[in-house]
Amino acid sequence: MKNILKKEFIPLLCLFFLLFVFLNANNWSDFLVKYTINDPKIAIPTQKRYPKQENFLFVQNTNEFTPYSRGDIKNIYYTIVNNGWEEFTFYCPAEYKNCLEDIKEISNNQDLLTHLNNYVHPYNGFSNVRTTIGETGDITIEIDYFYNEEQIEAINQKIAEIYSQIITPEMDTYTKILTIHDYIINNTKYDVERNNNGTSNYHSYLAYGPLLEGYATCNGYTDAMALFLEKLNIPNFKVAKTPDPTNDTEGHVWNAVYLDNKWLHLDLTWDDPVSNDGQDYLQHKYFLITTEQLKSIDTNGEVKVLEHEFAHNIYPELA
């Protein structure tokens, strides 16, 4: 009798269990997801060749890839780009209720991503960032970078060649920066065609343009100078003024350089003016100057220069 009841009871128990799972499939799935990602195993990719080790006031490298604030998310994005990783996945913790909303906001904030890009080594500068939020709560960042390996190899060879020709051991740091500044300007023309039409035969928006083709836009000038500053082990980052349609201001980028215990501005683009007479000019108006000097120069002419009005909360070292 007991065996008969057992045979009948077990199938009924299984049936009730399956029915329970079916009716509560969503809750059961949510439980499993929450359980499995509560302590996720994050895979750390191999570090690339050009990460910056120093931290800045606006962004810092991090080893903690579980965010608990918007600032944590910003640092995770920065660390991914700074390390040159092409893909990285992390997770939101249950305690951080607005995590996904903050990630969506940051991933769609092109101005913020542009500014994050300015703090990394030029070779780790990205052309595109894609953020995907999976059904299990995983956040995957995919990065496309501007420079390919062939370009990096050619640029590095050219920098080594230029450096050996124009830099001598007895030069102090200031003189080395001045010599490199003058060399780039004397061997580069501003790419008017790309500025006017958005297209050009030259890679003028990269360091490849000024160093191997002789043409640059502000991005190319700035990247070229940044690569030499990296070679000299001088702390630096790029400063961007993003386009502002309210006052018809175009975007601009230049270098920030840490020298003699202070941060200074260095703008090769504006020291290499486009002339109406076709002559090449070399200036030093924007060579290693303070923010106060920058403001004074930009307001001293007939037309106030707006392209250097940077966000002080994003570049507080220069504020």
Listing DSSP states for 192-213 in one string gives: HHHHHHS--SS-TTSTHIIIII
- Residue 281 burial class via C-beta count within 10 angstroms: exposed 0-12, middle 13-18, buried 19 and up: exposed
Strands 189-190 and 215-216: parallel
- How far, in Å, CA of 294 to CA of 146, rounded? 30
Q: Looking at residue 247, what is its pLDDT?
A: 76
Tally of CA atoms within 13 A in the half-sphere of 174 that contains its CB: 8
Strands 252-259 and 236-241: antiparallel
- Residue of 133, 129, 55 whose CA lies nearest to 86: 129
- Per-residue pLDDT reduced to its tens digit, 34-84: 433 455 678 888 878 899 999 999 999 999 999 999 999 999 999 999 999
- Which of the pair, 287 or 21, is modelled with greater confidence? 287
- How far, in Å, CA of 112 to CA of 120, rounded? 14
Residue range 24-39: mean pLDDT, rounded: 43
Class of domain 149-318: alpha beta
- How far, in Å, CA of 269 to CA of 255, rounded? 10
Res. 229: pLDDT tops 90: yes
Whether domain 70-145 has CATH 3.30.1370 = yes
- Per-residue pLDDT reduced to its tens digit, 141-169: 999 999 999 999 999 999 999 999 999 99
Predicted TM-score (pTM) of the model is 0.86
Res. 208: pLDDT tops 80: yes
As a whole number, the mean pLDDT across the chain is 89
Tally of CA atoms within 13 A in the half-sphere of 15 that contains its CB: 5
Which residue's structure tokens are 């996945």? Answer: 89
Q: In what helix (H) or strand (E) does residue 189 lie, and over which residues does it extend?
A: strand 189-190
Report residue 66 as tokens. Answer: 């579980």
- How far, in Å, CA of 307 to CA of 301, rounded? 14
Listing DSSP states for 32-57 in one string gives: HHHHHHSS--PPPPPP-S-------S
Residue range 215-242: mean pLDDT, rounded: 97
Give the residue extent of every domain in the chain.
70-145, 149-318
Alpha helices for 67-133 (secondary structure H): 70-82, 99-107, 110-117
